[in-house]
Amino acid sequence: MNQDKRIHHTGLQRKICSAEDAAQWIKHGDLVGVSGFTGSGYPKAVPGALAQRIKESHNKGEEFKIKVLTGASTGPQMDGVLAEVNGVSYRSSFNTDPKMRERINNGDTTYFDMHLGQVAPFYRSGAIGDMDVAIIELSSVRADGTLIASSAVGNNQLWLNSAKKVILEVNSWQPEELDGMHDIWEVSTNYPQDIIPIRTPSDRIGVDYMTVDLEKVVAIVETDTSDRNTPFSPPDDNARMIAGHLMEFLKDEKKKGRIPEKFLPLQSGVGNVANAVMEALSQGDFENLTAYTEVIQDGMLAMLESGKMSVASATSFSLSPEKVQYFNDNISKFRDKIILRPQEISNHPEVIRRLGCIAMNAAIEIDIFGNVNSTHIMGTRMMNGIGGSGDFARNSKLTIFMTPSLAKNGAISAIVPMVSRVDHASMDIHAVVTEYGLADLRGLAPKQRAELLIEKCAHPNFRPLLREYFKKGLDNGSMYTPHYLKEALSWHERFVATGSMLPK
C-alpha cells in the first residue's frame, strides 16, 4: 500500500503526518468546513483523532466543541465520532448520522437546515463568520499541487478557498481514475454573478481539479478507508407499486407530448422507493435518459452501463458496497458518462429550470391540501434535513413526491389532515404517489387536491378518517382550504400519546 504515490507534489509530501498530528490544528470554537456528500468523500481519519482530543479535553473539564459545515451527510467516522463525544456545537447543512441526529434533537448541537444548493451562497454571505479549518478528502494530488476530489465534490473548492488552514486526507481506497471526472466551476463571489453556461447535463464548463494556496495546507493524512456505502435497499412491493404508478404517469405525459422524445433530465433521491423507480426505468421503454441530480446511485450506474442513460451529472455518489466495488473495478466504463460538480451547480435553480428536470423525491408526510413535510417527525424532531429537495422541487418541470401510504407498521398515515411541518408549499408539488396511486395535482385548488389525495393516495384504513376531517372543514364554512383547526394536528398528538394515529 503505497498511498504516498497519490501525492505527486513534493512540497506537500513533506506535510504528510498522522491524523493525531493533523487534528492538533483544530481548536475549540473553530468553524470547520468538511468535505462529504451523501456518505461519500468525507474525511475518515482526522475527525476520529479530533474526537479523541475533544474527549480528553472534556475529561479534564475543558470546553471543546467545533462548528461544522459540510457538503451534506458524512459517515460514522465523521459525524458519528464527533457526536459521540458531544464535540459539535453547530452543524449545517445536512445530516443522516443517527448519533448526530440524537445530539440535534436533544439540543446538544445547534442545527441549521438549509437547501443544499444554497450552502455556498450562505457561507459567502458572511453571516456565519470566517472558516478556520477545512478538512477535505482527496483521491490524489497532482505534481503541480492541484487537488483531485474523491467521490464527492460538495463545497470543497469553497472551503479550500475560505479556510485559514487546510488539512487534506488522501484516500487510496478511492480510485485514482476519479481524476478527470470532476468539473469544478466557481460561482462569482461578486454580483451580478456570471451566467452558468450549462445547456445539457453533459456540458463540462470548468476544470477537473481543485486548487488551494499551498501555504495554507498544514497537514496531509493518508487513509485507505471506504465511504459509508449504505447497503442497497431492495424495492419491496410498495416501492414497486409506487414506481409503477410513476412510470404510467411519465408514459402518459410523454404520449401527450409534455415530455419530449429525448426525455428530460432526471433527479432522484436515494432509498428503497428511488431504487424501485430506477429499476422500473431501466426495464422501461424510455431511451437516452440523462440525470441532472445530486447523487448517483446503484440504479443510475446500471443504466449508464446498459446504455439506457447516456450521462449523469451529480455532486457525489451514493452506492452500495457491492456496486462501489464494481464501479471502482470498472471505472473506465463510466469515466465519460459521469460528471461530478460543486453542489452549488448540481442544485442550482438556474440550471434545473433551464434543463426542465423531472424531480422525484421522498416525503415524510403530505397533507390533504398538498403540502409536504420532508424533515420533521411529529413536528418537533429533525429526521435528516431538506437536502436538495427544495432546489429541485421548486424549479423542475415536473415535481413528484413519493411515499408509502403507511409507516410504523400502519400506525402512521403518510397522508394527514395537516402536515406538522411544511418544507414544500402546495404550489411546488405537481404529483404525489403512494402504492395506491398517483394524484396529479397540477392546477388544482385545495379542495380538489384533498379529494384526489384522499381517494387516490391515502391508505384505505385512513380514508374514512380523512374524509371525516375534510367534511368537518367544509361544515365549518371554509370553502377554500377547509381545515378544521381544532383537529388539524390531532393525528400527530394522538400518535405521540398512544403510538398510533388511529383512534383506539
**Binding track, positions 397-416, relative to its own copies; x by CB under 8 A:** x-------------------
The residue within the footprint of its own copies, chosen from 71, 299, 390, 417 (CB under 8 A), is 390
User: What distance in Å separates the CA atoms of residue 129 and residue 108, rounded to the nearest whole number?
Assistant: 21
Q: 62 an active-site residue?
A: no
In 3D space, the residue among 424, 427, 444 whose CA is nearest the CA of residue 372 turns out to be: 424
Among 183, 222, 279, 423, contact with its own copies (rule: CB under 8 A): 423
Near its own copies by CB under 8 A: residue from 356, 410, 456, 463? 356
Counting contacts by CB under 8 A, is residue 349 touching its own copies? yes
Provide the minimum distance between the beta carbon of 342 and its own copies in the complex, in angstroms, as a whole number: 15
Q: Which C-beta is closer to its own copies: that of 230 or that of 371?
A: 371
Q: Is 351 annotated as a binding residue?
A: no
List alpha helices for 110-190, DSSP H: 119-124, 156-162
Nearest C-alpha neighbor of 339 from the set 349, 323, 329, 351 = 351
Residues 171-200 that bind its own copies (CB under 8 A): 190-195, 197, 199-200
Q: List the interface residues with its own copies, window 30-89 (CB under 8 A).
A: none
x-or-dash string of contact with its own copies, 287-316, rule CB under 8 A: ------------------------------
- CB half-sphere exposure, 130, CA atoms < 13 A: 6
How many residues belong to the site for its own copies (CB under 8 A)? 81
Write down the catalytic residue from 222, 279, 294, 344: 294
The x, y and z cell numbers of residue 294, run together, are 445530486
Residues in the chain: 504
Which residue in 193, 140, 142 sits closest to 170, CA to CA?
140
Residue 264: CB minimum distance to its own copies, A: 6
User: How is residue 481 annotated by DSSP?
Assistant: S
Count of C-beta atoms within a 10 Å radius of residue 484 = 19
Strands of 419-468 (E only): list them.
431-434, 437-440
Q: Is 390 assigned to a binding site?
A: no
Contact pick of 159, 319, 482, 501 for its own copies (by CB under 8 A): 482
| Candidate segments 113-121, 230-238, 299-307, 312-320, binder of its own copies by CB under 8 A | 113-121
Residues near 325 by beta carbon (within 8 Å), at least 6 away in sequence: none
CA distances from 160 to 14, 165, 322, 344, 499 (A): 19, 9, 32, 15, 47
Region 92-111 residues binding its own copies, contact defined as CB under 8 A: 92, 104-107, 110-111
Of residues 137-176, those binding its own copies (CB under 8 A): none
Catalytic residue numbers?
A: 294
Which residues does the annotation place in the binding site? 269-273, 364, 384, 388, 408
